[in-house]
């Protein structure tokens, strides 16, 4: 494919959604520095086109499981800024009840299965989710060749050489599992460039001869939209696929990482000026005559005010009740969501 089309309404919505993500993450940066957010915090600004472009091409039946850089994923799958920031504040009204923090967002109703704190561990879980969809699809009389819902199992370049990723991919190939193994290559792991930690930084080729792969410009919304649209059609026929998203993070790996000890300020500045995903969408809208730069700036100011209001809603949320210290903890009981067991099956200390 050498071209893609979009409507005025779509691109204006994309501009709004990407800017909302960025303002949310900048607000999180400020709140962390003010010590209102504690613990780990991994920001997504710079990578907005990946999240928004991916969501555009997925249906409500498709699944998404991500890394611990997951605030934007929770938002694009249907949550509110206030619930996300409330979670980071540790408030009871947060998306995970104030218990998960930055790395553990989750929305079962929106088929977003996490943020995961353990590097790479979400990938085999994602393959398992895709396997379950295949199982139910066939049990309900569907063809093993699809079309089936797909699962995108995301991971970063820093975890791309985890053995469990290939193990999950190998099983997916053998069993015809509709899973997309998607590496968000933002060029740096935890302070280390891809060239220093990977003998093969061409992550879309990790499937070798068995599983094909594609590389997508993750700074271009249209490229992401079209690439994921094609990937979904391919994987939905029971054919796993590797996808590499070439993107870039503006902040450090986490808030404890200044982000410029292993790369220069000029590099970050250059990416912001020449490859920024929001600037690219802005230019396309303006060049198409669909809005002026002033109109888009005015809308950005409105979004900033909306995000600020959502942050204040989060700040006003009460802290979790004291008894929540003991909820979600299982002791000598079998929860209802575990199938095929009864009280006699409980292992007691």
pLDDT score for 343: 53
Q: How far apart are CA 137 and CA 153, in angstroms?
A: 19
pTM: 0.93
DSSP code string of 45-112: TT-HHHHHHHHHH--TTSEEE--S--HHHHHHTT--HHHHHHHHHT-TTSTTTTSSGGG---BTTTTB
Question: Two tokens at 8?
Answer: 């005025």
Write out pLDDT tens, residues 76-103.
999 999 999 999 999 999 999 999 999 9
Write out pLDDT tens, residues 177-193.
999 999 999 999 888 89
pLDDT score for 341: 66
Q: How far apart are CA 91 and CA 309, in angstroms?
A: 16
pLDDT tens by residue, the chain, 349 residues: 678 999 999 999 999 999 999 999 999 999 999 999 999 999 999 999 999 999 999 999 999 999 999 999 999 999 999 999 999 999 999 999 999 999 999 999 999 999 998 999 999 999 999 999 999 999 999 999 999 999 999 999 999 999 999 999 999 999 999 999 999 999 998 888 998 989 999 999 999 999 999 999 999 999 999 999 999 999 999 999 999 999 999 999 999 888 888 999 999 999 999 999 999 999 999 999 999 999 999 999 999 999 999 999 999 999 999 988 888 888 777 777 777 766 555 544 4
**Chain-centre distance for alpha carbon 120:** 13
**Domains (ranges, CATH) in the chain?**
8-345 (3.40.50.970)
* 293-315 helix and 81-89 helix, angle to the nearest 10 degrees: 40
Q: How far apart are CA 127 and CA 219, in angstroms?
A: 26
Query: Which is nearest to 64 in space by CA: 171, 185, 149, 148?
Result: 149
Q: How far apart are CA 202 and CA 186, in angstroms?
A: 13
Q: How far apart are CA 167 and CA 206, in angstroms?
A: 12
The 3-state secondary structure of 245-311, one letter per residue: EECCCCCCCCCCCCCCCCCCHHHHHHHHHHCCHHHHHHHHHHHCCCCCHHHHHHHHHHHHHHHHHHH
Q: How far is CA 279 from CA 4, 15, 19, 241, in A?
A: 18, 9, 10, 30
Specify the residue for token string 């009389």: 141
Residue 312: enclosing H or E segment and its boundaries? helix 293-315
Cis previous bond, 315, omega within 30 = no
pLDDT score for 337: 75
Q: How far apart are CA 250 and CA 268, in angstroms?
A: 7
Q: How far apart are CA 79 and CA 51, in angstroms?
A: 14
pLDDT score for 3: 86
Q: Give exposure, 97-123, as e/b (b: 16+ Cβ within 10 Å).
A: bbebbbbbbbbeebbbbbbbbebbbbb
């Amino acid at each position: 494919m050498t071209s893609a089309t979009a409507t005025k309404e779509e691109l204006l919505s994309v501009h709004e959604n990407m800017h909302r993500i960025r303002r949310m993450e900048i607000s999180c940066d400020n709140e962390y520095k003010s010590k209102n957010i504690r613990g780990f915090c991994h920001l997504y600004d710079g990578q907005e086109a990946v999240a928004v472009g991916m969501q555009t091409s997925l249906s409500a039946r498709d699944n998404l499981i991500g890394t611990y850089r997951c605030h934007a994923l929770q938002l694009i799958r249907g949550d509110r800024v206030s619930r996300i920031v409330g979670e980071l504040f540790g408030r009871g009204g947060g998306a995970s009840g104030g218990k998960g923090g930055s790395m553990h967002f989750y929305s079962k109703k929106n088929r977003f299965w996490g943020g995961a704190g353990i590097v790479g561990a979400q990938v085999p879980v994602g393959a398992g989710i895709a396997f379950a969809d295949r199982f139910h699809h066939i049990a309900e009389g569907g063809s093993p060749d699809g079309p089936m819902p797909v699962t995108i199992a995301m991971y970063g370049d820093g975890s791309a050489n985890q053995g469990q990723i290939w193990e999950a991919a190998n099983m997916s190939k053998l069993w015809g599992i509709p899973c997309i193994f998607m590496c968000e290559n933002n060029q740096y792991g935890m302070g280390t460039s891809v060239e220093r930690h990977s003998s093969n930084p061409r992550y879309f080729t990790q499937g070798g001869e068995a599983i094909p792969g594609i590389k997508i410009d993750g700074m271009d919304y249209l490229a992401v939209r079209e690439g994921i649209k094609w990937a979904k059609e391919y994987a939905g026929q029971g054919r796993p696929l590797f996808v590499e998203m070439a993107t870039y993070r503006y902040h450090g790996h986490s808030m404890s990482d200044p982000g410029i000890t292993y790369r220069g300020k000029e590099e970050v500045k250059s990416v912001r000026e020449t490859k920024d995903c929001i600037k690219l969408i802005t230019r396309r809208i303006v060049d198409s005559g669909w809005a002026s730069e002033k109109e888009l700036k005015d809308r950005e100011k409105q979004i900033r005010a909306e995000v600020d209001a959502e942050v204040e809603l989060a700040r006003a949320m009460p802290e979790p009740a004291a008894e929540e210290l003991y909820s979600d903890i299982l002791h000598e009981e079998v929860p209802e969501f575990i199938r095929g067991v009864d009280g006699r099956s409980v292992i007691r200390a």
